[in-house]
Amino acid sequence: MQDYKAAARDFIENEKQFHLGAIPTEQSNPLTRGLSAKIRRDTCEGVKLILDADRYIPEVSQKCFESAEFKKLTADILRCMNEGRRVVFSSVGASGRMALQLDSTWRLFWQQLIERLPLRAEQFVKMAEMTDSFMTGGDRACVRSVENFEDYQTFGAWQTVDSGVTPGDVVVVLAECGLSSSTIGSAIQADDMGISTYYFYYNPKDILCEHLERARKVFSHERITFVPMFAGNMAVAGSTRMQVTTIELLLAGAALEMAAYAWLKENLDPEELEAVGAKALSGREYSEAFSDMVRQMQCGQALASMAKAVEYEADTYTKGGLITYITHDYLQDILTDTTERQPTFTLPPFRRTDDSESPLSWAYAKDPLYPASIAWQHIIRRPIKGLDWTREDYIQMNAAQTIVDNPPKVGSEELSYYDLGNSDDKTRYSQHPARLVLVDIDGLSSHNGCREWYEKNLPKFDGGMVLRIGDIPAEALGENEIRIPISVPHTLMELMPHIMVKLAFNLLSTATMAKMGRVWSNWMIQVLPTNKKLIDRSTRIIAQLANISYEQACEEFFKSYLGRPKDQEYRESYVVETLKRLGVDPDAEE
């Protein structure tokens, strides 16, 4: 075993730029403290508590909508539409999956609009191809985290160059919490190339610049347009898949809808515009719609039904079972949430089709309408982008020797090994209880073939349920239904329904894990340390809960981390193992 004391000493002395305890998104949110104890006693109260962390998003988003920076972005997107230029979204982790979703949603809108206005097909095809996207680690990262890639500015810079952007294009960097080196590399590279660059960041600029040299470096680029969006700490400390990506989706999605509607008004005649059937909202209307959506989720049938769904999932996993979600129209949204459960809660990732030994992911998502190759086309709506980098490329990018010697499998062919299609995957009902969940949003599954697939395949499973969210028709789709009624505005690209699904599934997965004791108070004790930021987070959680110094906690963390075989990394989190060894009971009431 590698000398854990030496490893800890190296991290403490040489990785100070990843010591992030002073950063708000890495700290406990006072609004959600005591979450794990409360949700064990009362699921409804726990769900309400998680949603409390979203309370500042409407106010912050409204301020952003009114800012010169946001108005500049919408104008720049419209310029690209008029000039035939490109808008490219870039990010990492949960925000990286958001970048792919924004790109895909834009493409879907224009492709569907051809059905209404077929004589505009040539124009609309060009509009659909106007956006692009890439995430740190390539498209394979949308099904499984790529270890350590976010730690390298050079990786983000290379991906920016590989995207083919040129002056006149726009690069939108969703910088998540503002900590990831790869997104900083993307922004700096784009700016250096003379690209109009936008940098959406969450943590306050003054705090980032005070503690992080890499933050000072990116903020020194005066031509970059910086879009601040701090709306409080995360519901679960460090879980940026929640409030950070929610406000990112709201702001960036609204910018796309506003620009698209402005173009439509300029280029369509009144009858054509009426045939489009939807429009964009004002900034205030988007903010108010979000506030109303959260209010609906926190009361009445929506709250009671969400709690019931949480208890259904917790019961399944506690008994060693599996959940398989099926949906078509919102598959990308649900795929994103299920992927993000792996690093957040140390759960087994999606398993490749050529792997029969690794543990199965607790939750999975499938498209019941198409085989896998076609399902992937519907999810991403552009050619798959892998990173086909060579050993020499990694050397040139100053990657760690471990990456140079054993480059991860992130090539363009990797997604073909993940079957999200309608094949009969026997592994999904090989552990019991195996449960099939049809996800129906706004009644879409009643007429698109998903219901028929659900009914045909349900006998293979131990049971099933129809999870219905949004504007729900009266007709039942199955014997066992959970109905979460929520009304949101319908706009050009259905931004608010997408945010509704995101909130509902982030809430479902987080509340389920908290209910099962995989969260302590509102600390992410089951974190999987796939990068240096997460090693620091693991260390700080150990120090906090064991009441020891950061230095001692780091040493204890590496003792666990380096002492366990790699094939046992999903046994339990290294944080929990360390706390138990130190005599702290992670399951005890806080």
What percentage of the chain has pLDDT greater than the value 70?
A: 99
Pick the closest to residue 101 from 490, 367, 505, 498 (CA basis): 498
pLDDT, tens digit (0-9, with 9 covering 90-100), for 248-290? 999 999 999 999 999 999 999 999 999 999 999 999 999 999 9
Task: Tell me the CATH number at 311.
Answer: 3.40.50
**Which of 574 and 588 is assigned the larger pLDDT?**
574
Q: Count of CB atoms within 10 A of residue 389's CB?
A: 21
Q: Does any domain span residue 590? A: no
CB 182 within 8 A of CB 155: yes
Name the domain boundary from 251, 282, 313: 282
The pLDDT of residue 1: 53
Q: Identify the three-state secondary structure at position 348.
A: coil
288 within some domain: no
CATH number at residue 204: 3.40.50.10490
Q: Phi and psi for 523 in degrees, rounded to 5?
A: -100, 140
Angle subtended by helix axes 243-267 and 121-128, to nearest 10? 150
Residue 325 and residue 366 in contact, taking contact as beta carbons nearer than 8 Å: yes
pLDDT at 587: 66
* Identity of residue 485: P
- Count of C-beta atoms within a 10 Å radius of residue 167: 9
- The answer to whether position 69 is within a domain reads yes
Other Cβ atoms within 10 Å of 483 Cβ, number: 17
Contact (CB, 8 A) for 170 and 88: yes
pLDDT of residue 565: 86
* Number of residues written out for the chain: 590
Question: Rounded to whole angstroms, how far apart are CA atoms 202 and 119?
Answer: 43
DSSP for 11-42, please give it. HHHH-GGG--TTSGGGS--GGGTTHHHHHHH-
Taking the C-alpha atoms of residue 456 and residue 256, their distance in angstroms, rounded to an integer, is 39
Q: What percent of the chain has pLDDT over 90?
A: 90
Positive or negative, the CA dihedral 143, 147, 151, 157 is: negative
Same domain (yes/no): 123, 234: yes
What residues does 438 pair with on adjacent strands? 326, 466
Burial of 402 (0-12, 13-18, 19+ CB in 10 A): exposed
Continuous segment of H or E residues that includes residue 8? helix 4-14
First to last CA, the chain: 34
Does residue 128 surpass a pLDDT of 80? yes
**pLDDT confidence tier of residue 590, bands split at 50, 70 and 90:** low
Q: Which of 288, 286, 345 is nearest to 508 (CA)?
A: 345
Residue 443 CA to residue 366 CA, distance in Å, equals: 18
290 domain-assigned: no
Give the whole-angstrom CA distance, residue 278 versus residue 134. 29
Structure tokens, 434: 């195996």
Same domain, 126 and 266: yes
Contact 577, 28 (CB under 8 A): no
Identify whether residues 440 and 324 lie together within a single domain.
Answer: yes
> Could you give phi then psi for residue 91, rounded to 5 degrees?
-170, -165
Q: Which helix H or strand E contains 50, and what residues bound it?
A: helix 43-52
pLDDT band at 527 (very low <50, low <70, confident <90, very high): confident
Residue 212's nearest CA partner among 398, 7, 15, 397 is 15
One domain for residues 381 and 250: no
| Average confidence (pLDDT) over 54-64 | 98
Asked whether 88 and 171 are in contact (CB, 8 A), the reply is yes
Q: Do residue 222 and residue 315 come from a single domain?
A: no
Summarize pLDDT for 77-95 with one digit per residue, the tens: 999 999 999 999 999 999 9
pLDDT digits (tens, 9 = 90+) for 300-354: 999 999 999 999 999 999 999 999 999 999 999 999 999 999 888 989 999 999 9
Q: Is residue 287 part of a domain?
A: no
Q: What share of the chain is helix, strand, coil (3-state, %, to 5)?
A: 55, 10, 35
* pLDDT band with cut points at 50, 70 and 90 for residue 485: very high
8 A C-beta contact, residue 487 and residue 296:
yes
138-195 pLDDT, tens digit per residue, is 999 999 988 889 999 999 999 999 999 999 999 999 998 888 999 999 999 999 999 9
Question: What is the reported pLDDT for 528?
Answer: 84
Is residue 289 in a domain?
A: no
Q: Lowest mean pLDDT: which of 216-220, 228-232, 233-237, 525-529?
A: 525-529
Out of 252, 282, 312, pick the residue that ends a domain: 282
Which 3 state secondary structure label does DSSP give 442? coil
Looking at every residue in the chain, the average pLDDT score rounds to 95
Per-residue pLDDT at 552: 96
45 and 75 co-located in one domain: no
Rounded Cα distance between 518 and 22, Å, is 24
What is residue 351's predicted lDDT score, i.e. its pLDDT? 95
Q: Are residues 154 and 271 in the same domain?
A: yes
Question: Minimum mean pLDDT among 37-46, 212-221, 468-477, 563-572: which range?
Answer: 563-572
544 inside domain: yes
Mean pLDDT of 239-252: 96
ω into 433 cis (within 30 of 0):
yes
Query: Residue 124 has what pLDDT?
Result: 98
Q: What's the CA angle centered on 487, arms 483 and 491, to 5 degrees? A: 130
Same domain for 506 and 542, yes or no, is: no
**Residues of the domain holding 574:** 4-28+523-581
DSSP symbols for 455-503: HHHGGGSSEEEEEEEES--SS-SSSSEEEEE------TT-HHHHHHHHH
Per-residue pLDDT at 589: 56
* Distance, CA of 508 to CA of 244 (rounded, Å): 17
How many C-beta neighbours within 10 Å does residue 115 have?
9
The number of distinct structural domains making up the chain is 3
Among 231, 251, 282, give the residue marking a domain's end: 282
Same domain, yes or no: 181 and 101: yes
Whether 309 and 250 map to the same domain: the answer is: no
Residue entry with tokens 């029969």: 356
The pLDDT value recorded for residue 209 is 96
- Give the global pTM: 0.95
Instruction: Note whether 477 and 468 are within 8 A (CB).
Output: yes
Residues 309 and 233 in one domain: no
Give 392-449 pLDDT, tens digit per residue. Answer: 999 999 999 999 999 999 999 999 999 999 999 999 999 999 999 999 999 998 878 9
Classify residue 317 as left (phi > 0), alpha (psi -120 to 50) or beta.
alpha
510 and 531 assigned to the same domain? no
Is residue 121 pLDDT above 60, yes or no?
yes
